[in-house]
Amino acid sequence: MVMTDSPLIPTDSLKNQRQNLRHQRRLKGWQGVWRFLFLCGMTGGLIWGVSLPHWLIREKSQVKILGNERLHQEQIHTLLDMSYPQLIWKLPIHQLRQKLENEPPLERVYLTRQLLPVEVTVTVKERQPVAEATMQGKAGFIDAQGVWIPRSFYQDAQVKPSVQLKVLGLSPQSLTYWESIYPLIISSPVEITAMDWRDPSNLILHTALGKVHCGTYRNREQLLKQLQGLSKLRQLSSQVAQERIIYLDLSNPDAPSVHLKEIPSKSE
């Protein structure tokens, strides 16, 4: 029988290896414990740090209002309706922005947080009224996009809206037309100072030539055709005395007509 030699591992060497392995495992265990304690300390310190009193918005003087032209800063603070104190980290920026943008006088709002010093900046873009407008019996203003703004927003404003155009009898339906109508009104070759929509079946324009009856508003193209017909009547004042004109009828722009007062007969 052939015997093969096999190397013999000393007992002391095996014992040392086992001790080294146990030592490494204990070391890794302690390293894990210290790493856990370190992370807990860092997290706790961070939570403690962000909750310190100097991160608080304590009063409205720490809320800066920029971009306002007509509305007072105090009015915007009232619309913002923030409660104090609040941690700057927990401030609901999105909800506050949405709250302000839902207010008719404000078109765009941007909110930013600042840490040193601790404050919030509210930058607003106000809507620009282009006409006085009454809607459902209430007075207000309207911008070029057809947003109606109640007059109450400007009662305490630092700058009152200054507009030349008046619109009577607006309705939710006519508001939907406004954005396409307004450019025609301001570019009309004959100046238009007022629009009377109180009778939905007859839109009346107050112009430099007198009142113009347009009938029921149907679409932008029809109104454009009526204004083009009005332009052709600009020489009317040189042919007919202004005080004789009751109104111009452009309900059918292809066949405009002029309604005149009767000339009183001379008494003999």
Closest CA to 142 of 121, 156, 154, 128: 128
Distance CA 103, CA 4 (A): 96
* Residues, the chain: 268
Among 88-92, 103-107, 243-247, the minimum mean pLDDT is found in: 243-247
Model confidence at 53: pLDDT above 70: no
pLDDT at 232: 87
As a whole-number percent, the residues of the chain with pLDDT over 70 amount to 78
> Nearest CA to 49 among 85, 89, 91?
89
Q: Does domain 55-126 have CATH number 3.40.50.410?
A: no
Q: Where in the chain is the domain with CATH 3.10.20.310?
A: 55-126
Nearest to 251 by CA among 243, 170, 225: 225
What is the reported pLDDT for 242? 73
Q: What is the mean pLDDT of residues 209-221?
A: 93
pLDDT at 238 exceeding the cut of 50: yes
**CATH superfamily to which 129-260 belongs:** Cell division protein FtsQ/DivIB (3.40.50.11690)
CA distance 193 to 210: 10
Q: Distance of CA 237 to CAs 109, 186, 224, Å?
A: 49, 21, 22
Cβ–Cβ < 8 Å for 111, 121: yes
Q: With contact defined as beta carbons under 8 Å apart, do 178 and 146 qualify?
A: yes
CATH 3.40.50.11690: which residues of the chain?
A: 129-260
